[in-house]
């Protein structure tokens, strides 16, 4: 009974989900009259299907899925328009982390791609220091490193100025990684590769001069959030390219709109995270405190960030149970 019930109604449930996703980013009054009628019809049908599932299928996964779908539809249809503050809170508590979970594969690819080029930059520079110039390390920076100068310690003298400069740079890199995704994703790949090579080369040079551990200790406190944002932005840029290159059953315009909305949510969600990373990099990372404290900050921010991304706004259902497994 379960297989047939799911197969007969799955398309209606999916269409209701599509309408609810649209309502996550727009008001009900922006729907056309036909869409409002369709939403009401699908909501009533889903409520009826939920009653049937409870009385006849006794499948907890299916019941949880339909219950979540009905609750979401009821909330959108009957709630009063939320104030701006509530919309912002809902976005960061629900929409952003849910979008991250839906699109995590793009972020993971950006992480792996950058890491590979980071390793290339480190190893190639270790074998030949001249490679660092190809990796984007200026001759001036090479001279500073050669003199064993801890340049990041200058932030201690003017934290506010340093923090604001860092924040501006981080936001710039993040938005560039995203925006260049419009070049079929190739621009994003270039930014990720360049950053990976540069970081790897600088680390290699500093380790060769004997103070690589000091640089890592500086980077680790803010690095978890900062690099995560760059990977998320890179994934968002790759998503734009994917939407143009692999539209599937959609037109290229519709595919770009679909992936573009997801990508924009990710970028907006990264903005406050970058402010946090900039604060840590300007005030905590260069501070004269024990290395253990900075690594503790890294561990704490990592736990908090990824607990938020993987669990905030999680519903009883995030995947529709397949008909093939509904009886299990």
Q: For 191-244, how does the pLDDT look when each residue is reduced to its tens digit (9 = 90+)? A: 999 999 999 999 999 999 999 899 899 999 999 999 999 999 999 999 999 988
**159, 165, 167, 277 from 284: Cα distances, Å:** 9, 15, 14, 10
**Is pLDDT above 80 for 315?**
no
Residue 190's pLDDT band, with cuts at 50, 70 and 90, is: very high
In the prediction, which pLDDT does 81 show?
46
* Cβ neighbours around 18 below 10 Å, total: 12
| DSSP reduced 3-state for 60 | helix
pTM for the whole structure: 0.69
Residues 6+ apart with CB under 8 A from 241: 181, 182, 183, 184, 185, 186, 188
In the prediction, which pLDDT does 302 show?
97
In the prediction, which pLDDT does 59 show?
78
pLDDT digits (tens, 9 = 90+) for 137-158: 888 888 888 888 777 776 555 4
pLDDT digits (tens, 9 = 90+) for 247-260: 888 788 888 888 88
For the segment 77-101, the average pLDDT, to the nearest whole number, is: 76
In the prediction, which pLDDT does 169 show?
58
pLDDT digits (tens, 9 = 90+) for 37-60: 888 889 888 888 888 888 777 778
pLDDT over 70 percentage in the chain: 85
Handedness of CA 45, 46, 51, 54 (dihedral sign): positive
At 7, list the tokens: 């197969």
- pLDDT: is 66 or 106 the higher one? 106
For the segment 15-25, the average pLDDT, to the nearest whole number, is: 83
For the segment 6-30, the average pLDDT, to the nearest whole number, is: 82
Residues 6+ apart with CB under 8 A from 252: 243, 244
In the prediction, which pLDDT does 164 show?
46
Residue 305's pLDDT band, with cuts at 50, 70 and 90, is: very high
């Amino acid at each position: 009974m379960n297989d047939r019930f799911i197969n007969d109604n799955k398309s209606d449930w999916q269409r209701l989900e599509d309408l609810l996703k649209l309502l996550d980013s727009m008001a009900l009054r922006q729907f056309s009259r036909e869409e409002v009628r369709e939403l009401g019809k699908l909501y009533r049908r889903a409520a009826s299907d939920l009653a049937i599932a409870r009385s006849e299928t006794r499948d907890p996964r299916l019941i949880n899925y339909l219950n979540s779908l009905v609750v979401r539809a009821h909330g959108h249809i009957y709630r009063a328009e939320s104030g701006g503050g509530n919309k912002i809170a809902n976005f960061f508590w629900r929409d952003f982390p849910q979008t991250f979970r839906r699109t995590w594969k793009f972020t993971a690819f950006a992480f792996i791609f950058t890491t590979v080029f980071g390793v290339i930059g480190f190893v190639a520079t270790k074998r030949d220091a001249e490679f660092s110039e190809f990796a984007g390390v200026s001759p001036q920076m090479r001279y500073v490193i050669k003199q064993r100068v801890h340049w990041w310690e200058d932030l201690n003298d003017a934290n506010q100025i340093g923090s604001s400069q860092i924040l501006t740079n981080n936001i710039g890199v993040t938005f560039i990684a995203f925006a260049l995704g419009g070049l079929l994703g190739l621009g994003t790949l270039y930014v990720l590769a360049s950053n990976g090579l540069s970081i790897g080369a600088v680390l290699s040079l500093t380790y060769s001069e004997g103070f690589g551990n000091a640089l890592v200790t500086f980077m680790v406190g803010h690095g978890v959030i900062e690099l995560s944002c760059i990977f998320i932005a890179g994934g968002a840029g790759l998503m734009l390219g994917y939407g143009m290159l692999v539209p599937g059953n959609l037109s290229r315009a519709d595919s770009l709109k679909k992936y573009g909305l997801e990508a924009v949510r990710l970028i907006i969600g990264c903005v406050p995270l970058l402010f946090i990373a900039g604060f840590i990099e300007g005030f905590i990372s260069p501070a004269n405190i024990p290395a253990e404290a900075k690594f503790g900050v890294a561990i704490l921010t990592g736990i908090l960030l990824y607990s938020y991304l993987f669990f905030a706004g999680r519903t009883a259902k995030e995947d529709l149970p397949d008909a093939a497994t509904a009886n299990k």
